[in-house]
Copies of this chain bind each other. A is one copy, B any other.
Amino acid sequence: MLLLDIGEVAERSGVPASALRYYEEIGLIRSEARRGLRRQYDPDVLLKLSLIGLGKTAGFSLDEIAAMFGADGQPNIPREQLRAQADELQRQMIGLRTLRDALRHVADCRAPTHLECPTFRALLRTASRRPLAYTPSRPDKEKKLLSKRR
């Protein structure tokens, strides 16, 4: 079978059909055809969805994800910008590492309250060194396309 219908995609990807329709509505994925009313998806959509999943766990908005990989596959963002995105991810990974270390430390440290523990404070200080601009949990979009910097 060449095309999948939405139920199958939902099951295999773990993404609910309602979300799939929504993604399509906003142009993040597309269905190749209809059989009657029913959307038919190219199996490749499964790959795309895992990519989307990755992007989401990385904290990107759907818009940003769409921008990374060209809404419909093509627009092809300037390579320069893609590299910048990758670098941003890199930075994010460093943040995660700090957080992970902080967590591990808290798990092991016997200090009664962690903000009193010098090791912990040291960790946090390195965290705040790189100011890591305030991000209001994504209600706002960048005014222009993906203007990453700051």
A124-B51 in contact (CB<8A): yes
- Is chain A's interface secondary structure helix, strand, loop, or mixed overall? helix
Q: Knowing A58-B96, A96-B89, A104-B86 touch, does A73 contact B132 (C-beta < 8 A)?
A: no
Q: Is A107 an interface residue (CB 8 A)?
A: yes
- In the complex, A122 Cα to B82 Cα: how many Å? 19
Decide yes or no whether A121 CB sits under 8 A from chain B. yes
Question: A135 contacts B57, CB within 8 Å?
Answer: yes
Q: A95: which of B47, B54, B115 is its contact (CB, 8 Å)?
A: B54
Which A residues from 70 to 92 make CB contacts under 8 A with B? 73-74, 79-80, 82-83, 85-86, 89-90, 92
Q: Which residue from B47, B57, B86, B133 sits with its C-beta under 8 Å from A121? A: B47
- Asked if residues A103 and B132 are in contact (CB atoms below 8 Å), the reply is no
